[in-house]
Chain A
């Protein structure tokens, strides 16, 4: 069962990091105006349209033992990213980030801006406005982004293979297990993992749709 646990651990960690950074970046960027905003947003969205191998190559370039960040990390902290579980998490973060960012940015623009302004005029600090107004109003979209992020992180293959490699018990997530089981002719194991990832993905989406139907109407019926 190691691939299942490794997959859940990798996708879970990546989703947590992506959720926090994605939500805050989306909130800050959608509410500010500065030169190069469009370019920045396009760069953040880039991993969505690039082949995962390009992302993997880019990550190797940055985090490889001779890469810009990788060299610094190993010289100063003795930390290696390539062929480790951390590498798998970083790959999942980069590939899944655009989905969270896009969902969050859309959610923060979906409701009337004056709702936040009204809270400000009532003496609420920016933090209070964020936690009591912005976050709850954006929550349906943020949750959708969260589930998509998790599903994408769970299914990440190309970039993970390039930076984390296939090391049984360490970087062997379900997608890698499927590929290498099928490669070596072990169709039974491959099918087992295919079915398990199908079940996880399908239940996540079913649950999200069920939840949205119950909750989104209440939040958005008064714009």
Chain B
């Protein structure tokens, strides 16, 4: 269970969002600049809200000025929009950076089908493959929640459908709260158990 209630003053508006997710996929959608990525960054601990609280499975991650658990200790996986793979490491080293459970690694690699890429560098693989590598890399840390920032926005139509399908499959077996950010309404309706439209830092639906 991930529960969020945060306020943060941004340049042109006030971010003020409440949501609760229990092993489901919550989709944040809305125009760019609406504060979606900032919400993810606050949950991951990369940005700090001004007030409020964030709790994950009973663990308090943030509570006003009193508590701010640093990013490495939050156990929250984060898939960045540009994937942020480590360009100087092979796919295998990327994946093993945050966790060395070899059984989990071979299970994920076989399930997603990237075993032939393990010795390649990120600049040698395609966009869809990068997305898959980044997803596996995030899951290798055995996160208690997963944040996905527009994970499919740079993919062509067929790859996007395949990747969306893989995410749904992974979610079924993993069953952790997932927050997915997108500006694509169709994608939001397809993947989301819970839909939140964000505009100017506030929930409008």
Contact = CB atoms under 8 A, between A and B. Distances in A.
Contacts of A220: 87
A114 B87 contact: no
Contacts of A184: none
Contacts of B88: 136-137, 218-219
A121 interface: yes
A222 interface: yes
A122 B137 contact: yes
A137 B98 contact: no
B84 A124 contact: no
A108 to B, nearest CB: 15
Contacts of B72: 120-125
Contacts of A66: none
Interface string B59-96: 00000000000011111111010101111100000000
Contacts of B138: 121-122
A96 to B, nearest CB: 28
Interface in A175-223: 218-223
B87 A120 contact: no
B168 to A, nearest CB: 22
A122 B141 contact: yes
B9 interface: no
Interface residues of B, number: 28
Interface string A129-160: 00011001100000000000000000000000
A24 B176 CA distance: 39
Nearest to A124: B72
Contact of B87 (A119, A123, A221): A221
A114 B84 contact: yes
Interface residues of A, number: 23
B82 A114 contact: yes
Interface string A15-40: 00000000000000000000000000
Given A123-B98, A124-B97, A124-B98, A118 B78 contact: yes
A220 B75 CA distance: 29
B84 A115 contact: yes
B76 to A, nearest CB: 6
A114 B44 CA distance: 12
B46 interface: yes
B123 interface: yes
A116 B137 CA distance: 14
B35 interface: no
B122 interface: yes
B98 to A, nearest CB: 3
Given A222-B121, A222-B122, A122 B87 contact: no
Across the A-B interface, the 8 shortest Cβ-Cβ residue pairs: A122-B98, A222-B123, A114-B84, A222-B87, A118-B84, A121-B78, A120-B71, A221-B123
Given A121-B141, A123-B72, 15 more contacts: A112-B84, A115-B84, A118-B86, A120-B72, A121-B46, A121-B74, A121-B77, A121-B138, A122-B72, A122-B98, A124-B97, A125-B72, A136-B88, A222-B87, A223-B87
25 contacts: A112-B82, A114-B84, A117-B46, A117-B78, A117-B84, A118-B78, A118-B80, A118-B85, A118-B86, A118-B134, A119-B86, A119-B98, A120-B72, A121-B46, A121-B74, A121-B76, A122-B98, A122-B138, A123-B75, A123-B98, A124-B72, A125-B72, A132-B97, A222-B121, A222-B122
